[in-house]
């Protein structure tokens, strides 16, 4: 996948749309937007590369039929919510459930099931800076996630960071990252990408769910594809074992 051919035009469209609607700004500005305009959300799909039916489950009408076992019946992230706005409390509850369910020692999250259900929150809460909170756990550079080869990953993502857009990518590129970390490697698995979503609208967070098959055994990284964010620490290691 050639980022320069795919991402740049997509970003250009989004930036243009954001300027027009006043709702989405990919630049890392500090909450300069006036009124929220939740209509402009790319839906987690990445043009030309997503073979998983659009990546996001937003607007699917049927809720998120996640394959994970930890929620006991599936979550309803983004169910019926245009633009995928979900109450912050809902996402925080999902993260808390995930933290209780996953085997984590220190800041390593170990999945043994072939059905991996990961809750990935972009810089939520009071801790300053750019970071990932995965399954309710955050650590330096984000926690490490260990999954078995062949697993299917369902990622419930939301941006919990006031004033900052965030997205999700599983990349082949290792840190340290430059400003354009998303250009440094390739998306590690088809569908393992969520286009940046706007910063929270008060207590409503933009959310998306994606599912993808784990790439071959090896080491990968979750990053935020917004320029500068991975560089500032918004990355986490993923080991496929």
99 SS3 class = helix
CA distance 39 to 57: 16
90 binding Cu ion? (CB under 5 A): no
226 binding Cu ion? (CB under 5 A): yes
224 binding Cu ion? (CB under 5 A): yes
Which residues in 138-167 contact Cu ion (CB under 5 A)? 166
User: 83 or 233: whose CB is closer to Cu ion?
Assistant: 233
61 SS3 class = coil
User: 166 or 211: whose CB is closer to Cu ion?
Assistant: 166
Strand residue runs (E) in 123-224: 132-134, 144-147, 152-159, 166-171, 193-197, 204-213, 218-223
Instruction: Provide the β-strand partners of residue 137.
Output: 134
Find the shortest distance in angstroms from Cβ 51 to Cu ion. 25
Q: How many CB atoms lie within 10 A of CB 61?
A: 7
Nearest residue (beta carbon) to Cu ion: 224
Binding segment for Cu ion (CB under 5 A), chosen from 32-40, 168-176, 203-211, 221-229, is 221-229
User: 68 or 160: whose CB is closer to Cu ion?
Assistant: 160
User: 83 or 225: whose CB is closer to Cu ion?
Assistant: 225
Which residues in 162-191 contact Cu ion (CB under 5 A)? 166
Q: Are 134 and 143 in contact (CB under 8 A)?
A: yes
CA distance 32 to 198: 12
Q: In angstroms, what CA-CA distances link 129 with 54, 160, 163?
A: 30, 12, 12
Strand (E) or helix (H) holding 96 = helix 88-101
229 binding Cu ion? (CB under 5 A): yes
Number of chain positions touching Cu ion (CB under 5 A): 4
Find the shortest distance in angstroms from Cβ 13 to Cu ion. 19
User: 87 or 163: whose CB is closer to Cu ion?
Assistant: 163
Find the shortest distance in angstroms from Cβ 241 to Cu ion. 27
User: 79 or 229: whose CB is closer to Cu ion?
Assistant: 229
Q: Widest CA span of the chain, in angstroms?
A: 47
24 binding Cu ion? (CB under 5 A): no
Residues that bind Cu ion (CB under 5 A): 166, 224, 226, 229
């Amino acid at each position: 996948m050639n980022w320069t051919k795919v991402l740049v035009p997509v970003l250009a469209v989004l930036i243009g749309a954001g300027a027009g609607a006043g709702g989405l700004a990919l630049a890392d500005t500090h909450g300069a937007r006036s009124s929220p305009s939740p209509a402009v959300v790319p839906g987690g799909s990445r043009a030309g590369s997503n073979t998983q039916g659009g990546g996001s489950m937003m607007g699917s009408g049927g809720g998120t039929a996640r394959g994970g076992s930890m929620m006991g019946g599936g979550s309803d992230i983004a169910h019926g919510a245009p633009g995928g706005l979900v109450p912050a409390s809902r996402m925080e509850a999902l993260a808390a459930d995930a933290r209780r369910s996953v085997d984590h020692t220190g800041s390593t999250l170990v999945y043994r099931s072939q059905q991996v259900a990961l809750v990935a929150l972009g810089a939520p809460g009071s801790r300053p800076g750019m970071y990932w909170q995965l399954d309710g756990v955050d650590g330096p550079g984000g926690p490490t996630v260990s999954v078995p080869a062949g697993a299917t990953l369902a990622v419930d993502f939301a941006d919990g960071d006031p004033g900052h857009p965030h997205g999700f990518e599983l990349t082949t590129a290792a840190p340290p990252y430059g400003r354009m970390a998303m250009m440094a490697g390739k998306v590690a698995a088809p569908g393992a990408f969520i286009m940046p979503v706007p910063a929270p609208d008060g207590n409503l967070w933009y959310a998306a769910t994606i599912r993808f098959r784990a790439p071959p055994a090896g080491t990968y990284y979750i990053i935020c594809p917004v320029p500068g964010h991975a560089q500032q620490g918004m990355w986490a290691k993923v080991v496929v074992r």
